[in-house]
Chains A and B, each alone.
Chain A
Amino acid sequence: MKIAVLSGKGGTGKTIVAASLAASLSESQYVDCDVEEPNGALFLNPEIIETTPVNVLVPKVDESRCDGCGACAKACRFNAIAVVKKKVLIFPEICHHCGACVIACPQNAISEVQREIGVVETDRNGRFLQGRLNIGEPITIPIIHKLKQSVREDKINIFDCSPGASCTVVQTIDGCDYCILVTEPTPFGMHDLKIAVSLVRKVGMPFGVVLNKAMAGDKTIQTYCKNEKIVVLMEIPFLREIAENYSKGILPVKMDKAWEGKFVRMFSSIVGGIEL
């Protein structure tokens, strides 16, 4: 079973929900797909025992064959190649690893070599998996693919997505069974929730909402969900205690056992056909 946790924007408590859910289920694996800012480890404190590089293919020019014609630079739609004074300059960090330059070169002077752009890391028990993009690397998708290949299929995989509704999120939720959308009761939260809802509806995946920072007396998110026939899986109240513990890296499930029960019940309801 694969569950993706996403939010329209950062700061809504996506990692709290994903990490708490993973911590509450004994047969789970938390997978941090927020590869630019992986924060799950700050809450789950895993002991990383294995680090695997993630490689991509980038072009390499055989200078004995290259005549400096510039066809490769023209072929590259990402501007990752420049040719000046008959010399080819390659900018691997903006290369999208598409191989167009190899096809374009009339001299067959371009081959491809492996280049590391990040790592995936796992703990001893297969409870924790995270991807990390190396500093200076802008392209996240290969790390997401590697993470998805590396998950423990025998466990319940909880994917903590990157914030937003970008291409990276689309790739992360591809192949999942269920999406949890985390939001907060502000117009910003509502706006971003609507974007996340359109995203999961576009890919046709079942989903429910977790309302973080819920406040008594405000029912805007609940009303929206009711009108849209979206299940509200859980409400986490807006409490100073939770925010303070978060700043110290302590999950709600670690400060109060009752939360663990709530997350287990939420999981059961997801599995059992989304009836709370």
Chain B
Amino acid sequence: MKQVVFISGKGGTGKSTVVASLSLLVKNKIIADCDVDAPNLHLLIKGERLHSDDYFGAELAVIDSTKCVSCGICRDICRFDAISEKIEIKPMKCEGCGACVLACPQAAISMIDLKIGETYVDQTQRGTFSHALLDIGADGSGKLVTEVKENLFAFLNGEDWALIDGSPGIGCSVIASITGADAVVAVCEPTRSGQSDLERVLGVARHFGIPAFVCINKYDLNLEITAEIKEFCEKNGIPLIGKIPFEPAIVKALQLLQTPVEAGIKNIVGEIENIWSRLQIQLGTVK
């Protein structure tokens, strides 16, 4: 089984659209949405729930009011303004650091694990699909991404490919997304900010020694930057495996919860098919 992770320097580059399209084109695969801070694939890939679990990704201080003598020491030492005048924890502000637990002379404060989201595995017509949803105001982390991937591989059943929609950015979550990957495909747009984001995200892949490939979405919006990205890729030995044109029909299709494949947008589907065959050639799975 080979793991291919789609990443981008920032959100909104079209990474999920490419993954969703490939989920219809590639045979015998499993799918994960590791973009846990803004998951979208589950809107396009529906199925029957096989597994769900609570995700505990944070800690919160709780005060035992029977032991508390309202001395206020905890409030004085809290660096996050998370304890009120009345010596109550403000959950939205609590960092989960536990300093108050250590400071309380009455041993009245303890830490509890906080459920901040849920993880799911669905059986879909396109294959097993693992994803997660976070609560409002909660932060994703390498831990959650790792859980999503572990859930996926727990349901592995002889498939050839794992298509993974990675986290955007270059933080811990993206590192967790690409750990163990056989290839990463960086999807970018030809904008000044997109270009610098791309260079940094490719740096992440290079450091891990994972073969990286580039796909430019809406390449024809700025041919000058597209040419610069191409040159950058050539100079660094990174294959440019796809250039998807700006196509308003994609947005129209997405409005109907359709990928370009289902909507039959021929030029786009053709290019996504090309991306996949070029990737397979590069990975040596086909001649």
Contact = CB atoms under 8 A, between A and B. Distances in A.
Interface of A: 8-12, 36-37, 39, 42, 75, 77-78, 96-100, 103-104, 138, 163-170, 184-188, 191-192, 195, 198-199, 202-203, 213, 215, 218, 220, 238, 240, 243-244, 246-249
B156 interface: no
A243 B92 contact: no
A243 B96 CA distance: 42
A42 B13 CA distance: 18
Given A11-B10, A11-B12, 16 more contacts: A9-B11, A96-B95, A98-B97, A98-B98, A100-B99, A138-B171, A138-B172, A163-B11, A163-B12, A167-B138, A170-B137, A218-B255, A220-B255, A238-B251, A247-B190, A248-B222
Interface of B: prevailing SS = loop
Interface stretch (B37-45, B63-71, B120-128, B207-215): B37-45
A188 B40 contact: yes
Contact of A75 (B102, B189, B197): B102
A187 B255 contact: yes
A166 B138 contact: yes
A5 to B, nearest CB: 15
Contacts of B137: 165-167, 169-170, 199, 202
A98 B95 CA distance: 8
Contacts, number: 133
B99 A98 contact: yes
Contact of B218 (A75, A184, A186, A243): A243
B47 interface: no
A104 B16 contact: no
Nearest to A138: B171
Contacts of A100: 97-99, 102
B103 A103 contact: yes
A256 B230 CA distance: 32
Nearest to A38: B193
Nearest to A218: B255
Nearest to B15: A11
B129 to A, nearest CB: 16
Contacts of B255: 185-187, 215, 218, 220
A243 B246 contact: yes
Contacts of A36: 169, 171
B79 interface: yes
30 contacts: A8-B38, A9-B12, A9-B40, A10-B168, A11-B13, A36-B169, A42-B193, A97-B79, A98-B79, A98-B95, A99-B99, A100-B98, A103-B103, A167-B137, A167-B138, A170-B137, A187-B254, A187-B255, A191-B40, A198-B136, A202-B136, A215-B251, A215-B252, A220-B255, A240-B221, A240-B246, A243-B221, A244-B222, A247-B192, A247-B222
